[in-house]
Amino acid sequence: MEINTIDAQQLAGMFLAGAKYLEAKKDHINELNVFPVPDGDTGTNMTMTIMSAAMAVHELKDPDMKSVCKAISSGSLRGARGNSGVILSQLFRGFTKVIKTEQQLTVSILNEACQKSCETAYRAVMKPKEGTILTVAKGVADKAAELTGTTDDIVAFLGQIVEHAQAVLEQTPEMLPVLKQAGVVDSGGAGLLEVLTGAYDYLCGKTIDLSFGEAAPAEEEEQEAPVLLYKTGYSLVTTDAFAAGIDAELRSYLEGIGGNVKVSASTHVIKVSLDTNEPGKAVTRALKYGAITDVSIVNQSAPKVAMEDEKTETPVAEAVAVEDTPAKAIGFVAVSIGDGLNEIFKGLGADYIIEGGQTMNPSTADIIDAIHKVNAKTVFVLPNNKNIVMAAKQAVDLVEDKQVIVLPTKTLPQGITALINFIPDQSAEENKERMEEEITKVKTGEITYAVRDTMIDDKEIHEGDYMGITDNGISAVGADIEKTFIDMLHTMVDEESSLLSIYTGSDATDEVTAALQKAVAEEFDGLEVELQTGGQPVYYYVVSVE
């Protein structure tokens, strides 16, 4: 079979097939994460990124090249989650920039698009590292350039590109020692390969199910959207959300009975929120999968009454009313997880909290939405996680009505320090400079557990071991949480250290916490210790040393 041109309809099918392939291998890609932590989420982030675009493509009634490209680029940019998702969205952005004005795609045009795709992705990363998804993308571009002029057959062209991408992926452990020691290939590169393979298989005529959820008929989209009265939220505790595919199944059902559906999954907890007129069905459905907690059902048409245990999300009524008040000079959006940490950020002046972090990275669209809900001329965004910084920076270019400044806070303690050092009567630029300087003085550590056996930095790690993770990687490993905690602190505390702040997680026990406090007092004489309830999942303790 020989194909010399691709039209918009074929391109749409190829993209949807690539999205399906990536979704099917999501769990496998998650398992390729080097660190054996419970929140390895490269596959999840890439899947949610491409699915945002895939849904937009799927909804096109009569696609032409321009509309397909807009759906792919805009959908993936706004839906981008995590560094891997942002890079994937930038690959799509560069690729579609070249082809959006074409009617038919040829080998020559596809080659040009591959070059632009690679260039755009590399430019989006401040310090590109080889042995990653970028390396696989570069391999694709190099092979495309090599083949151009040797064939007009797109099937042969794409087939050899996929084969070469596989070979490059298999070489990533030779480029990154940490991959080789862990015995895995790069997870982001593996995700990109799935997208390419799906597109190629579709082009070759393979039958692939391209259905996406329970989409409403096209005629219904033109009707006035129903008013959804009840904002419903809850947490679902289940055995293994990712392995069972519960998050995707539940999302599909909820989208059929409501709108503004948000389903964020960690290993054992799925957080759900939606607007619906059938809150009973939304809650009852979740009981099929496990136990539910923190149920909240609010009638959005009722008068707003302030409650002490009110959710951090800005209510609709409040978001509308705030537009009638003068905008303040500077506001803050912070990414946080855990009731205690959320309260700390609000107490320090955060105007809006995005629920998320290690276990669930918010999308660029989530960050944009939060920025718009802050009534300020300049909005600082505190990502508070190294895997959210790129998505936050991507939001800057998509917000036009206010100045957005992203502080590169990579941990929750850095975000807290940034807010502590904010001075209201100084300019945004003065505050930015000072806060950026202060966050570099904070050392962060986290205690969690290993989800599999592996070897990292010559440390032998067994499933179930406790791990102490600092800014420099895994610093301590052991079967005893107290010893692991103290060993981690020894890599963080020096003669200039004076304050240790400990934020207890949702799974921390009073008994263990008391033992840790005693051990710290005995081991680090003169170090002031502050203990606060964080409530964060997955991480028993988050600590900062200053």
Domain presence at residue 3: no
Distance CA 16, CA 211 (A): 9
Q: What is the DSSP letter of 105?
A: B
Do 21 and 107 lie in one domain? The reply is yes
Distance from C-alpha of 281 to C-alpha of 290, rounded to nearest angstrom: 15
Instruction: Characterize the bridge pairing of strands 443-449 and 466-470.
Output: antiparallel
Asked if residue 214 is part of any domain, the answer here is no
Alpha-carbon gap, residue 249 to 95, rounded angstroms: 31
- Statement: the pTM of the whole predicted model exceeds 0.95: no
Residues 183 and 288 in one domain: no
Instruction: Tell me: do 541 and 447 sit in the same domain.
Output: yes
Q: Tens of pLDDT along 399-448?
A: 988 999 999 999 999 999 999 999 999 999 999 999 999 999 999 999 99
CATH number for the domain that contains residue 350:
3.40.50.510
> Residue 504 sits in which domain range?
443-545
Residues 456 and 418 in one domain: no
Please tell me the distance from the alpha carbon of residue 407 to that of residue 442, in angstroms, as a whole number. 14
Please indicate, yes or no, whether residues 197 and 75 belong to a single structural domain of this protein.
yes
CA 203 from chain center: how many Å?
A: 30
Among 253, 272, 299, which residue terminates a domain? Answer: 299
Nearest to 10 by CA among 154, 175, 150: 154
* Dist CA 354 CA 540 (whole Å): 21
One domain, residues 417 and 331: yes
> Residue-wise pLDDT tens for the chain (546 aa)?
899 999 999 999 999 999 999 999 998 998 888 777 766 688 889 999 999 999 999 999 889 999 999 999 999 999 999 899 999 999 999 999 999 999 999 999 999 999 999 999 999 998 888 999 999 999 999 999 999 999 999 999 999 999 999 999 999 999 998 888 888 999 999 999 999 999 999 999 999 999 875 443 444 344 455 667 678 888 777 655 443 567 777 888 888 888 888 887 765 678 888 888 777 778 777 767 766 666 777 666 544 333 333 333 333 333 333 445 788 999 999 999 889 999 999 999 999 999 877 667 889 999 999 999 999 999 999 999 999 999 999 999 899 889 999 999 999 999 999 999 999 999 999 999 999 999 999 999 999 998 888 888 788 999 899 999 999 989 999 999 999 999 999 999 999 999 999 999 988 999 999 999 999 999 998 899 999 999 988 899 999 999
Do residues 5 and 22 touch, judged by C-beta distance below 8 A? no
The rounded distance, in Å, linking the Cα atoms of 116 and 431 is: 37
Nearest to 380 by CA among 421, 326, 440, 337: 421
* Residues 465, 479 contacting (CB under 8 angstroms): yes
- For the chain, the domain total comes to 4
Domain boundary among 203, 237, 269: 203
Check which CATH number belongs to the domain holding 490 and give it.
Answer: 3.30.1180
Residues 6+ apart with CB under 8 A from 363: 48, 49, 52, 78, 79, 80, 81, 85, 391
CB 517 within 8 A of CB 529: yes
